[in-house]
Structure 1
Amino acid sequence: MALLKFLFPPTLFVTATSLASFTTMASAGLSEFRGKNVEYSKFSNVGSKASDAEKSNNSTLPSRIAMATLYTPAFLAGVSSFAIFPEENLRFLLLKSAISIHFFKRVLESCFVHKYSGEMGVETMMMILSSYFISSAVMIFTQHLAVGLPEPAIDLKTPGIILFLTGITGNFYHHFLLSKLRNEGPNREYKIPRGGLFGFVVCPHYLFEVLVFWGFALISQTLFSFAYAMGTTCYLLGRSYATRRWYLSKFEEFPQNIKSMIPFLF
C-alpha cells in the first residue's frame, strides 16, 4: 500500500483514535461552516440562543486567564513526555520538542500578546482544553508505539521541521498584527486586519497554524498525526469561513476578493 511508504504501520488503537479525531474535528468544522460557532473571541455572543437568566448562571473567566489555561495542559503533556518517554529517538525528540514549543508559544501569546475584552465560558474553555490536551497526548503516545518499528520508506522529518518553523513564525507574526488592531478593555473595537497576508485572506494565522500541525504530521509520520492535521485543517477552514462571513456582516467596505484561509482558493 502506497500510504505505508509515508507512515508507520498503524495498530488497531491508532486507527480507531485517528478515525475518532478526524471525525470530531471535521464535524466541528462543518458546524462552523453552517454558522454554529464555538463561542469565544468575536463569536462569543453570536448565535447564542440562551436566555439572559441562563447566561447569568454560566461560569466565566477573564479571557486572558481562560486562553492561557486552555493551552497549558497540552504544553505540560509535551514537557512531561521527555520524562515519561525518554527514548533516544530523533523523530520522537523532534515531535516532543515541537509540541512543547508550539503550546508554550500559545501560552505566552495569551499572556502577553493578545488583546481581550470580555470573558470566556468555562464550559467552552474546558471543551477546547480537552481537545488540545487529549490530541497532543495521543499524538505523543502513538509516537511511543512506533519506536522500534521499521522507519517509513520515505523520511519526511526535514520537510516537517521546515513546515513547523514556517507555521509557528507566520502564526506569531499575524497574531502580533491582530494585537495591534484593538485596545484592551470593555469596548470592543474590531477593525479590518491589514498587513502580512491579511490582504489575501482574513485568517492567515489559521493558515500558519495548519502548517504547524502538518509539521507535526510530517515529523511524526503516524496515522494519528496525519488524521489530526487533516481534522484541524477542516476545522480551521470552517472557522475561517465563519470569520469572513462575520467581517462581511460588520464592514460594508470589507474587500470581496479576500478569501477565508487559502489565498486565491478559499
Structure 2
Amino acid sequence: MSEIKAGGLYVDVGLSTANSVVLFLLLAFLVSSLGFELFFSIPYSKFATKEEIEKLSRVHIIKYAFHHRVNPRLGWALIYIFPVIVPAIAFAVYAVDNNEKIGKIAPSETYAILVFIGWILSFTKRFLESQFLQVYSDTIPILTILIVSGGYSYCGFASVYFANQVEGYEISPDSGTFVKDIICIVGYVVFISLNFHSHLTLRNIRKRNPEQPDKKYYSLHELGRLFVVLVCPHYVFEVAFWLCWAAFSGIATNWTSFGFTFFYLSIRTYKTYKWYVSKGLHTKPEDVIEAADFGV
C-alpha cells in the first residue's frame, strides 16, 4: 500500500525487490551520465573537444557506434520517439491490467494518467522540435542515439512503473494535496510553454554566413536580456517544468530524474557560459559566432 507524505510531495510505494532493482538501475545510469558530462561531454554538442572525441574513439567496444553517424534529423527523431513509445507500451499494459481488475478508472489511475501525460507531452514536444524547429550543423553518432534514447526510455518506463503502484491518490478539492496538484499542473504548462518559446527564439536568430553557406551563426544581443542574465533560459524553464512534474507525482524515480536534470543542465549552463566568454559574447555582444552545436 502506498503512503502519501509531505502533502503529496513524496509518495512511498515501498521498496520491494523489483522496485529496488528498477530504482538502482535508474540511479546507476543517471549518476554515470552525470559524471561523464562533468568530466567530458556527451558527443553531440559544441563542448565535446577533439581530445575527448579521440579518447572515446580508442575504446574498441564503442568505436563503431562512435564513428558511424546518421542524418541529425533522423538521429534526434530516434532519440525522442522511443522515450514516447516505451512508456506508452508500459502504460497500456498497466491500463489493461487495471481495467480487468477494477472495470473503471480509479482515482489513483487519474493520477497515473496525469504523470504519464506529463512525460509524454515533454518528449512529444522535443520530437516535433527536432523535426520542424531545430537547425543542425552536423551528423550525429550512433553511440549518442543509443545512450540518450536508451536512458530517456528507461526513465520513462520507471516513471510509469512506479506511478501505477500508487493507491489512494485522489485529485479533488476534498483531498489534502489539491492545491499542490493544481499549482504543479499550471506551473508545468507555463514552464513547458516558456521552454518552447526559448527554443523558438534560438531558432529564429540562427543565420547563415553568405561567405560560408554551410555554417550557421548567431549573435547574443539578438536573443534578448533573458539570455544574457540566465545564459540558458530554455534550461531554466526545463528544470522548472520537470520540478512541477516531480512534485506532482511525488515518487522517488521522478524526483531522481529531476535531480539529474537539475545538475546536468546546471553543468551545461556553466559550460555554455564559459563558451560564450571564450567567444567574447559577454564582452562583445555585437559579435557573430559560429553555432557549432548540432541543434538549438
Same fold (TM over 0.5): yes
Aligned partner of 1:168 in structure 2 is 192
Q: 1:127-183: per-residue Cα shift (whole Å, max 9, x none)? A: 010111100111011001113479996453212212211221011001011112224
Aligned partner of 2:52 in structure 1 is 48
CA distance in 2, matches of 1:163, 1:107: 22
1:47, distance to aligned residue in structure 2 (A): 4.3
Contact 1:78/1:136 (<8 A) preserved: yes
1:144 and 2:164 are equivalent in the alignment: yes
Q: For 2:155, which of 131, 135, 144 is the aligned residue?
A: 135
RMSD: 3.1
1:113 and 2:142 are equivalent in the alignment: no
Q: Aligned in 2, Cα 1:148/1:84: closer, same or farther, shift over 3 Å? A: farther
Where does structure 1 lack aligned partners over 5 or more consecutive residues?
257-266
1:98 and 2:118 are equivalent in the alignment: yes
Pick the structure with more strand per residue.
2
CA distance in 2, matches of 1:166, 1:38: 29
CA distance in 2, matches of 1:170, 1:26: 28
Q: Aligned in 2, Cα 1:58/1:223: closer, same or farther, shift over 3 Å? A: same
Where does 1:1-266 land on structure 2 (aligned, <5 Å)? 4-5=5-6, 6-12=9-15, 13-14=18-19, 17-18=22-23, 21-22=26-27, 24-26=29-31, 28-34=33-39, 36-45=40-49, 47-50=51-54, 58-86=67-95, 87=98, 88=105, 89-148=109-168, 154-155=177-178, 156-183=180-207, 186-192=214-220, 194-195=223-224, 197-249=226-278, 251-255=279-283
CA distance in 1, matches of 2:86, 2:244: 18
What TM-score do the two structures reach when normalised by structure 1?
A: 0.81
Contact 1:14/1:223 (<8 A) preserved: no
Corresponding residue pairs, total: 252
Q: Aligned in 2, Cα 1:129/1:196: closer, same or farther, shift over 3 Å? A: farther
CA distance in 1, matches of 2:28, 2:120: 25
CA distance in 2, matches of 1:58, 1:74: 24
Q: 1:41-67: per-residue Cα shift (whole Å, max 9, x none)? A: 32355543418x978971101222111
Amino acid at match of 1:252: G
Contact 1:159/1:218 (<8 A) preserved: no
Amino acid at match of 2:5: L
